[in-house]
Homo-oligomer: A and B are copies of this chain.
């Protein structure tokens, strides 16, 4: 990306909010989260049936959401049950809330 000037340092909240926003920056991920809000939880396979996307693609989106901390996976062999990470969800909620006033 060719950064010649020194790296910028942002406020912690700014960075965190940007991270959450990035996780929400794709319609599929929004849709997945909406699905999780309704169902409260679901398996990867369920989503593959809901969305016309390859299993690997769904898995990648889940990885993104997990990286942002918005969801968490629980081993339920042979499946994996994904749920919303309530703590971080509330964190995101309040960050967006206070950002928009």
Which residues from chain A sit less than 8 Å from chain B, CB to CB? 5-6, 8, 10-11, 14-15, 17-18, 21-22, 24-31, 33-34, 37, 51-54, 89, 92-93, 96-97, 99-101
Number of identical monomers bound together in the oligomeric complex: 2
Return chain B residues, CB-CB under 8 Å to A29.
18
Q: Are A15 and B37 in contact (CB under 8 A)?
A: no
Given contacts A22-B25, A25-B22, A25-B25, contact A30 B53 (CB under 8 A): no
Can you report 5 residue pairs joining A to B where beta carbons are below 8 Å apart? A17-B24, A18-B30, A22-B26, A34-B99, A96-B97
| B14 pairs with A21, CB closer than 8 A | no
Contact B18 A21 (CB under 8 A): no
